[in-house]
Amino acid sequence: MGTPGQRLNRAGRQADAVFTILHFFGKPYDHVATSVVCTEGGPTGSACNGQPVIHSRSMGADGLVARQPAPWTNRPRAVLLARFSLYRQCNSCPGWRQVLSPGAQGRPHARMGLPKPGFHMRIASEWLRWCTSACPDRSVHREGCTYISVRTEMHAQRRGEGRGMAWREQLRKGLLNGGSALELAWRHLVCRLLNLRRRFLRRLLPDYPILVLDQPLSERAPTFPWWLAYVPGLRRPLSLEAIAEALERIAQDPDIRGVLFLVKGAHLTLAQAQSMAALFSRFRTWSMAVRPDGSVPAQVVVYLEQMDAASYVMASAADRVIAPPLATWDVLGLLVAPSFWKESLARIGLAFDVVRVAPWKSAMDMFSQAEMSREDREQLNWLLDSLYADIVQAIAQGRGMPPEEVQAQIDRAPLTAPQAQAAGLLDHVAYEDELPALLGTAEQPARLQLYVRCRGLLYRRPQRRHPQAVGVLSLQGLIVPGESRRFPLPVPILGEQTMGSTTVQQMVRAARQDRRLAAVVVHVDSRGGSALASDLIWRELTLLAEEKPVVIYMGNVAASGGYYIATPGHRIVAQSATLTGSIGVVVAKPVTQGAFERLHARREVIRRGANADLYRDTAPWTPDQRQKLTEQVFYVYDQFKERVASGRKLDLAGLDEIASGKVWTGRQALERGLVDELGDFGRAVELACQAAGLPVDGTVRTVPVTPPRRWLLATPAEAARTLLRLVGEPGRVWRSLLALEGPPGPATQEHLWLLALNVPASPAG
């Protein structure tokens, strides 16, 4: 077996051999960390004093101790230096004493980059036995032995930081810089040609480009196949992302006087209205950057055909608000009217068994309760108080009115357009055809044109794009296991979007491997879903956060499972009207036994196993089954709280005060430490750039991270197969339809759910 020194030399040679093999296959490492672990052994084990003694050393290029590996910061360049030292501690020696000098020292290997930054590996475990009883003379006695383990740890460094790949890295950077220079030159050439064309067609340039809001608004533009753009009569959904790009494009032209929004049938949530108000402020800032000193910024004009709470909150942030004469100011306040179906379902013999963590977790109360619980009433009241205060504050700030006056006008509503103008809530009352004269003069009316028709005439400014980008992960819909579902055409029932854990895992892994992405912004808009699927997504986002900065942006709702998957983020941004929280678990199932009895139908049940019917609708839960489910629910709930406590740096013991299924608005969540900042999606991108060390000047692109592309006919073909399967299996038809459509279907397919179905779908009444 040899002496301890010989064994140590053998460990060093083994490590060198492994390093050489890894180097040959393109996976070298930047430094080696050697750990010496003292464990109790022998008759007494006194050498360790009952405690393992660990000494670690990791050597760098110049003999310096290498820094701890950080996911997105550059570490000092280091060589592969296998340097082993053996220490031991005994009762008669003060502190540490070197017993055996290093006998194995690995040769410095060429420094190369890794294909997977952040990779960690532990190899070459060599066990040594050093028998000692006295330190000074290092005498060896068999009656007191200490077992010592030497482990060789290697931490990967980022590709291109090593010396061995220097020429390749320099070549790659040279090609990138050359490509960037050519791209910039091409941009300058194209912009000059288009601006020259603009000079000749300047008389066609409008004073106010028009953006029409006539359909429901989403936060991010969904990715559809290219051929859908050529389908007659099919319009792309309107999104805040597309509006932000249009406003930034319009603001770059110094000859544009402003932008006109025609609000016709748009259905906004309060969180979306707050995002639009933030975009108006950004538009003014962008326009001032290209205008001479002393000039006024471009104006934002909103023409409202309907004036509900959310639409008017958006319009109050504009410079001018105009409405037609017969429009009605319908800012009436907020209303929530949940319905309860327990007694109605009991008439047909249906019932629901529910196990939950707390009364505030009221996701299934509409089926299991006959009336609203005291806790749920208290929760809805604090939500309405916060949202109502946001509405009053936004209108008061935008229109320059005291909050008391705004509350008085809300209590007076509905108001006619002339009454609203007299109260200072509108600037003008006019028809749409009167807008040119109103925005200009009678002699020289303002030129108005749709943005899609005039964007080619707008002034173009060449901008050098940063080589790195910020990835955008859009996670929306019900969280379910498997693949996400979004049909390109609006198919009834089957057209709802779901967030599949398998699809999200692929997207997150693609973001981790994409070297262009220096940071990732995750847009979450979900009421939750399957506990298992939520945890799988959480795990992937946690691994991503270890390598790159991750900033979470919450949309309208990020509650229950939606908040679960948001906890790995380094920063969480939400609007003040975002509904979040609902940290809790619920399990439920329908019981159809009474329905069979009322219909005089007979169903025979044959089973094997005491709990074979645990998740079936044949019978209610027995006391023993309910106890098992309660233990399972609270186990998942404890895991949920640990995720929140570790991710948000909160005290686990006091987390029940803000958890227990309670729903909060974004402002309330900020006060309780569940989010870091109130802001819009643009603010989340700025935080991601700051965390990654990128400039916050608009030169960094945002790149959507999409799931792997499928064949064009895969989704319609799969839809046809799904319909045939539903028709061919009548026993599963109703469960499958409900699972695709929404509640209560999820409770019949999955076991444990992190759902927040009790939050208002639209905060505006």
Question: What's the CATH number where 283 sits?
Answer: 3.90.226.10
Does residue 392 lie in a domain region? no
Does residue 382 lie in a domain region? no
Q: Which two tokens stand for residue 572?
A: 């969480």
Does residue 347 lie in a domain region? no
Residue-level pLDDT at 458: 78
Q: Which two tokens stand for residue 546?
A: 């270890």
Which of 129, 102, 115 has the alpha carbon at shortest distance from 34?
102
Residue-level pLDDT at 714: 42
Cβ-contact 349, 598 below 8 angstroms: yes
Give the pLDDT confidence of 88-109 residue by residue, as tens digits: 333 333 333 333 333 333 322 2
Does residue 221 lie in a domain region? yes
Which of 614, 534, 527, 617 has the alpha carbon at shortest distance from 568?
534
Residues 503, 584, single domain; the answer is: yes
Does residue 463 lie in a domain region? no
Residues 154, 97, single domain; the answer is: yes
Domain final position from 109, 144, 164: 164
Q: How much is the CA Rg of the chain, to the nearest whole Å?
A: 32
Give the pLDDT confidence of 128-152 residue by residue, as tens digits: 333 333 333 333 333 333 333 434 4
Domain final position from 457, 484, 516: 457
Q: Is the predicted pLDDT of residue 48 greater than 90, yes or no?
A: no
The percentage of the chain sitting over the pLDDT mark of 70, rounded to a whole number, equals: 62
Residues 426, 523, single domain; the answer is: no
Does residue 761 lie in a domain region? no
Residues 451, 478, single domain; the answer is: no
Which of 552, 549, 581, 565 has the alpha carbon at shortest distance from 700?
549
Q: Which two tokens stand for residue 569?
A: 């983020």
Does residue 512 lie in a domain region? yes
* pTM attached to this predicted model: 0.70
**Alpha helix (H) residue ranges in 702-759:** 714-728, 733-741, 745-749
Residues 477, 515, single domain; the answer is: yes
Residue-level pLDDT at 182: 72
Q: Which of the residue ranges 13-22, 167-176, 178-187 would you say has the lowest mean pLDDT?
A: 13-22
Report the sign of the C-alpha dihedral through residues 619, 735, 529, 338, in that order: negative
Residues 431, 542, single domain; the answer is: no
Buried b (16+ CB within 10 A) or exposed e, 741-763: bebbbbbbbbbbbbbbbbbbeeb
Which of 510, 315, 539 has the alpha carbon at shortest distance from 427?
315
Residues 243, 111, single domain; the answer is: no
Q: Which two tokens stand for residue 545?
A: 């956060």
> What is the band of 238 on the pLDDT scale with cuts at 50, 70, 90?
confident
Does residue 562 lie in a domain region? yes
Residue-level pLDDT at 267: 84
Domain span at residue 438?
Answer: 201-332+413-457
Residue-level pLDDT at 73: 29
Mean pLDDT of the chain: 73
Residues 14, 57, single domain; the answer is: yes
Give the pLDDT confidence of 456-510 residue by residue, as tens digits: 777 666 666 778 899 999 999 889 888 887 644 444 434 457 888 999 999 999 9
Task: Break the chain down into helix, strand, coil percent, rounded to 5.
Answer: 40, 20, 40
Q: Is the predicted pLDDT of residue 361 greater than 80, yes or no?
A: yes
Distance CA 740, CA 617 (A): 18
Residue-level pLDDT at 315: 95
Q: Is the predicted pLDDT of residue 540 greater than 80, yes or no?
A: yes
Cβ-contact 111, 165 below 8 angstroms: yes
Q: Give the three-class secondary structure for 522.
A: strand
What's the domain count of the chain? 3
The number of beta carbons lying within 10 Å of the beta carbon of residue 652 is 12
Q: Give the three-class secondary structure for 479.
A: strand
Distance CA 434, CA 391 (A): 30
Q: Is the predicted pLDDT of residue 37 greater than 60, yes or no?
A: no
Residues 637, 582, single domain; the answer is: yes
Mean pLDDT to the nearest integer, 434-442 = 90
Cβ partners under 8 Å of residue 166, min gap 6:
none
Residues 137, 281, single domain; the answer is: no
The number of beta carbons lying within 10 Å of the beta carbon of residue 634 is 13
Domain final position from 140, 164, 188: 164
Mean pLDDT to the nearest integer, 176-203 = 66
What are the two backbone dihedrals, phi and then psi, of residue 682, each rounded to the nearest 5 degrees? -60, -35
C-alpha count within 13 angstroms, C-beta hemisphere, residue 382: 15
CA 148 to chain centre: 45
> What is the band of 192 on the pLDDT scale with cuts at 50, 70, 90?
low
Give the pLDDT confidence of 373-384 residue by residue, as tens digits: 999 999 999 999
Residues 207, 65, single domain; the answer is: no
Q: Is the predicted pLDDT of residue 53 greater than 80, yes or no?
A: no
Cβ-contact 88, 140 below 8 angstroms: no
Q: Is the predicted pLDDT of residue 47 greater than 50, yes or no?
A: no
Of the two residues 716 and 219, the one the predictor is more confident about is: 219
Q: Give the three-class secondary structure for 701.
A: strand
Q: Which of the residue ranges 163-177, 300-314, 680-694, 723-737 would you say has the lowest mean pLDDT?
A: 723-737
Q: Is the predicted pLDDT of residue 6 greater than 90, yes or no?
A: no
Residues 209, 68, single domain; the answer is: no
> What is the band of 194 on the pLDDT scale with cuts at 50, 70, 90?
low
- Select, from the ranges 167-181, 230-244, 541-555, the one with the highest average predicted confidence (pLDDT): 541-555
